[in-house]
Amino acid sequence: MDPRRRTGRLGEDHAAGLMKARGGVVISRNWRCRAGELDLVVLDAAGRLRFVEVRARTGTGFGTPAESVTPDKQRRLRRLAAHWLSENPGRWRQVCFDVVGVDLADPTRPRLELFEDVL
């Protein structure tokens, strides 16, 4: 596996662990459609559906992980969420968009930062 994919996978593993530790259940991971991919879809302890974008970095040379979620990426996330919801109908109490920034500069001590309801 190439280093970028490995970094992304490791970041997603850490983010999924964070969401589970907060009482969430990961109901979809790396969901794909023609419009792109959703990293995590989580049902939280309060019954809210959370679309989680994971941004992992091994350094800050290109800014923090959360800073990499551009307006284009935000539009894409909304579009992807609409596709996911159309394929997975349900009575979701609320739909939220979160970003988990994972700093892997020191892989033995990853730093996670959760930004809730960002869109």
Please check the confidence at residue 64 and state whether its pLDDT lies above 80. Answer: no
The token pair at 118 is 């960002």
Query: 18 with 114: CB under 8 angstroms?
Result: yes
User: Structure pTM?
Assistant: 0.91
In the prediction, which pLDDT does 61 show?
A: 67
Domains and CATH numbers, the chain: 3-115 (3.40.1350.10)
Q: Which has the higher per-residue pLDDT, 1 or 12?
A: 12
Cα distance between residue 22 and residue 1, in whole Å: 30
Please check the confidence at residue 81 and state whether its pLDDT lies above 90. Answer: yes
Lowest mean pLDDT among 8-17, 26-35, 88-97: 88-97
